[in-house]
Amino acid sequence: MCGSLRRELGFWDAVSVGLGAVIGAGIFVVVGLAAGVAGAGVVLAVVLAGFSAVFTGLSFAELGAALPRSGGVYEYGRSLLHPALGFLMGWSWVSGNIVLGATASLSFGYYLESAFPWFSHVAGAVLLIALVTLVNVVGVRVSASVNNVLVAGKVLVLLVFAALGVLSMDPGHFSGMTSASLSSLAAAAGLFYFAYIGFPRISTMAEEVVDPERNIPRAILVTLVLSMGLYVGVVVAAVGLVGSDALASSTAPIAVAAERLGIKGLVEAGALLATGSVVLTSAMGQSRVFYAMARNGEIPERLARVSERFGTPVNSILLSGVIMLVLVLTVDLSGLASFTSFSVLLTHVFTNLAALRLDRREVSVDYSLRGVPVHAFIGLALSLVLSLSLGTRTLVAGGVNVALALAWFYGYRLLRGRAHGLRV
């Protein structure tokens, strides 16, 4: 039997969930991969990825106000496009975010192992997943409070790094910034989009946000503006301190730049906070999409059960934790950043398409120009371009994931229909 979720998140809690999801492994790790593609042009790639996210964020803001339901992209596709497309959007979003959560937990483990060599990075990742799963089960209010502390800590660390770095940088490191080709900038932006993909997590929590029609749109846009400003400052500082080649050759690029300032330990502590909050909010978001799918009978309905004691979808939270745990223990996640970006960009293509289908005579939040949702057209185009720039192997893996989603949707519907027929 399905239960109702509790509305316990205010505006700043929603912003904190967004920042907790956005600022994580992307800025601490993926910036190095993007620098390897675009060189000093990584600064422009960060801005390009951010602009793409902002246009799509406007569509999310409209949809979040019009359809404030748990599940986010899944509900938008299901309500405005087609149930199969909605399921595909939910499946793709969860796929990308589960990989993101598992990758972030391993990053946490590596930073922990760096500080305490006797502690295995795998054990650190497992411990983090167990802790965030427990926190999520206990209640959304507890999860939000823990996340608020983690977000405040990591933002403060990055602000200190950016401020000190800008004062000490070498302008010569930016000499090749404008010589990067458009194709390399697009590919780097597509990779760095990984660092922005957490902002829709706010919409997955819609049924737990107070006054969602007002708070969800504002929280999404504030999250994106703050994240983009912080990212640009951090990347400018990092490139200016050590150059794009040094960033590209390191698995911990921001830590390498911080070492030049003598604050490597502080940045490593910030990385622990950042990856911890990403895994925490990842479990929050995934479980709400599972909850919404189960409520609609598209996955086992027991996943929609809400604990009377905690007010959380416990079974969905446990499933999210188990899947991340299995990935950490069995799969090499080092090359899956592009798959995560593709999966989420695919959902953003369809989200912008859903925004085009909104009846704008009835929406309470409307960012169209004279009734024309220009932002949705631009967001759709940029999301599509960035997704197609991620390489053949990523596109093939994404295509396989799409086929699996559709096979589940129609196969489970058929089996469920037969089961109900037998009962009748």
Q: Please check whether residue 144 is in contact with residue 9, taking contact to mean a CB–CB distance below 8 angstroms.
A: yes
Q: For residue 6, name the pLDDT band (cuts at 50, 70, 90).
A: low
CA distance 134 to 115: 25
pLDDT for 129 equals 92
Q: Which residues pair with 209 in a beta bridge?
A: 9
Closest CA to 235 of 152, 149, 177: 177
Closest CA to 227 of 207, 262, 204, 202: 202
**DSSP 8-state symbol, 252:** S
Residue-range domains of the chain with CATH: 11-423 (1.20.1740.10)
pLDDT at residue 422 tops 60: no
Q: For residue 109, name the pLDDT band (cuts at 50, 70, 90).
A: confident
Q: Please check whether residue 344 is in contact with residue 197, taking contact to mean a CB–CB distance below 8 angstroms.
A: yes
CA distance 122 to 138: 25
pLDDT for 126 equals 92
Q: For residue 60, name the pLDDT band (cuts at 50, 70, 90).
A: confident
CA distance 195 to 107: 14
pLDDT at residue 400 tops 90: yes
Stated length of the chain: 424
pLDDT at residue 370 tops 70: yes
> What's the mean pLDDT in 184-203?
79
CA distance 122 to 64: 37
CA distance 71 to 393: 29
Closest CA to 42 of 267, 260, 264, 234: 234
pLDDT at residue 424 tops 50: no
